[in-house]
Chains A and B, each alone.
Chain A
């Protein structure tokens, strides 16, 4: 059974870079057809898709965040990562990594989520 686990600092200062890693276990991050996404949820609010990466390394980002986001992949460690630069308090959220059902983007596997607070 595939499992995802997010890791990274829970507190980031304004204007700095938020960096999170998602470790994939129980399955291959290089499985054809699966895209690996980051999704966030502001406190008490709805869900916002940040972007995805494919095992080939191709990426696609939400235009609302595109100028600040980078998603990368390390297949040797079975990990994919999120970097969000120039953060503000508006980036305070629970960040989830997720996998989609092959050839769709319905997310069937989610990490437990990690809370990131942007504050000085």
Chain B
């Protein structure tokens, strides 16, 4: 099974500043035949289901603000929020869908400093 590990567990960033969340997989999630990374990012606010932000490691889901971006390849990935807004306070999860059982990171709680 692929284990997903996020860092940090929590993060406090000032409004308008950059927030960076890291995700590491225990094995590569890059599929060589199509050169795609099978990695997604989600945002979850209290009492709500997760919301898909990024898939294929860097493709922004429709309607997601462009301040959210994903990068990385292989085993190391990053979610960046370029200019933190108050509504971005949430828990963020990465997920690999390279192989079953699909697995999620433990989550990173993002707060305002």
Q: Write the residues of chain A forming the contact surface with B, with a CB cutoff of 8 angstroms.
A: 37, 46-49, 60, 62-64, 96, 98, 100-101, 104-108, 110-113
B11-19, B49-57, B71-79, B81-89 - interface stretch: B49-57
Q: Which residues of chain A have C-beta atoms less than 8 A from B103's C-beta?
A: 49
Among B49, B56, B100, point to the contact of A110 (Cβ < 8 A). B49
**Interface members, chain B 34-80 (any A CB < 8 Å):** 38, 40, 42, 48-52, 55-56, 61
The 5 closest A-B pairs by CB, nearest first: A105-B97, A106-B55, A110-B49, A106-B40, A62-B101
Nearest neighbor of B53 in chain A, beta-carbon distance: A106
Among B38, B49, B100, point to the contact of A96 (Cβ < 8 A). B49
Complex Cα distance, B104 from A101, in Å, reads: 17
Among B1, B97, B105, point to the contact of A106 (Cβ < 8 A). B97
* A106 & B52 in contact (Cβ 8 Å cutoff): yes
